[in-house]
Amino acid sequence: MCLAIPGLIESIYVQDNINMAKVNFGGVKRATCLAYVPHAKAGDYVLVHVGFALSVINEQEAQSTLKVLKDIGELDEI
């Protein structure tokens, strides 16, 4: 139940005074509440849980983790 999944914000709209977005999860599109990520914009990836975006995925951090993982592999080949 605590699993959140990443999706791409396609467009933002307002409903009952809260910011909402159409978010694309690999083809499946869902209405998602953006109230907790007020700085999110179209084109951002957000981590979504039960219809709420909880964080914007930090691309730099994602890439630096991947780099660390790849470096671990290269280390082992020496």
Residues that bind another protein (CB under 8 A): 1-8, 16-18, 25-26, 30-31, 33, 35-38, 45, 47, 49-52, 54-55, 57-59, 61-62, 64-66, 68-70, 72-73, 75-76
Fill in the DSSP letter of residue 78: -
Shortest Å, Cβ 16 to another protein: 6
Q: How far is the CB of 70 from another protein (least distance, A)?
A: 7
Residue 13 CB, shortest distance to another protein, in Å, is 14
Nearer to another protein, 11 or 32 (CB): 32
Cβ contacts of residue 13 below 8 Å, gap of 6+? 19, 20, 21, 22
Which residues face 36 on adjacent strands?
A: none
CA distance 37 to 46: 9
Q: What is the DSSP letter of 16?
A: T
